[in-house]
Structure 1
């Protein structure tokens, strides 16, 4: 279930607790917890409704500008039933805390055993340590470029990286990946000496979804975190080649999710 960034921020703030969708059948069930950019969002109810029976209060709770706008949004695919989905913020993504948790000796043994099982179940042979090492040595590099380095298809490579992310070992960036502190500890445990790495950038990373051209332009300008972006005005960003209106809107939304804003808009 896709939810727009502005709606996610409103769900986290508690000002939006409904969504409406046209589906042939429900795609979520009560109790589903979705991982989103703002954390976990839980499905609290799912019921079929009549569009003609919707009221202004439904529109308000869904974050729609008006009842008319809500009905217009549901005008597409009229042959599919309309569904009212109750939503609630359910806390931060537990993987964030896991990524920051450096494992002790017993945890390292358990993680290594889990990696061994992933390797054993793979149709293309052992891949976990190679992938962790690849990301460690080439942070913020595009997934297709990383996959090409080890002769793999991008889709399969990304699927495997997601398995490492579930273990709290990697984190996804707007472009490429980064080992988490937990992942660094796992890699270092297999080396004679801990690897020397560049200092970890403090702050929230650039949001995914702003596009590769915008991400590259921001990085070239030395803006690699939301906190750094917040020091620039919208005009500053618009003047950067590759940073278009969609990227700026997504940056504004990401800052709003953290209670921030672009310079001159606070």
Structure 2
């Protein structure tokens, strides 16, 4: 989920507890926790609202001075629905970070990772991708995703989605530009 940088501090402090988005289709789910540039953000509720129904108190909770400012700042097509997201900053560590830092793998851990990667490869409509993706990231850390995707003949958007799957397994870490192999990923690659 993308959150404007000027809202980060207010969300961290708990001053901003609402976001408004105009989306063609819902892009957030109530009860989910999203990793964002400011850290993890929980979405506690998602409701469709009419722009005319946005109140000044909603606006203040979203970090604006008035409802008119919120409506003026909405992006997207006017015909698209407007969503009101009740949010909160999550201060606990991301479990994926802890997983990624675990660099001692048992034989069972290695087998489990291998099975999960094989499942990802089988589910792909473009064929196996996990090994090539891990190897290109290992070989070229901190390189733009588009450049890595081009090197292995992948669509950049799909490449990024696939790297997120590897990150969920604790095998990669996102950087400001590109990625790197996590300690867990390095341990897996050394044992595979």
Fold shared per TM-score above 0.5: yes
Residue in structure 2 matched with residue 97 of structure 1 by the alignment: 98
Structure 1 residues without counterparts, runs of 5 or longer: 191-266
**Offset at 1:164?**
1.1
Identify the structure with the greater strand proportion. 2
Corresponding position of 1:88: 88
Q: Which runs of structure 2 are paired with 1:156-235 in the superposition (5 Å)?
A: 156-190=158-192
CA distance in 2, matches of 1:141, 1:74: 33
* Counterpart Cα distance in 1 of 2:88 and 2:168: 23
Check conservation: 1:58, 1:67, Cα contact below 8 A: yes
How far the C-alpha of 1:81 sits from its partner, in A, is 5.0
Task: Give the structure with higher Rg (CA).
Answer: 1
Residue 19 (structure 2) aligns with: 19
Q: CA deviation at 1:124?
A: 4.4
- CA drift of 1:100 comes to 1.1
Residue 157 (structure 2) aligns with = 155
Query: Cα distance, 1:44 vs. partner?
Result: 1.8
Deviation, 1:54, is 4.1
Which residue of the partner structure matches residue 215 of structure 1? none
Deviations 1:141-188 (A, max 9, x none): 222332333333333433332221121111222322111111111111
CA contact (8 A) 1:39 1:92 kept: no
| TM-score (ref. length: structure 1) | 0.60
Number of residue pairs matched?
190
| Greater relative contact order, per chain length (Cα 8 Å cut-off, separation 6+) | 2
Residue of structure 1 in register with 2:115 after alignment: 113
The question of whether the paired residues in 2 share the 8 Å contact of 1:129 and 1:187 is answered with no
Pair 1:58-2:58 in alignment: yes
- Residue 3 of structure 1 corresponds to 3
Question: Matched residues in 2 for 1:80 and 1:132: separation?
Answer: 38
Counterparts in 2 of 1:41 and 1:133: CA distance versus 1, 3 Å: same
Deviation for aligned residue 1:111: 0.9
Match of 1:43 in 2: 43
Of 124-133 and 175-184, more deviation after overlay is shown by 124-133
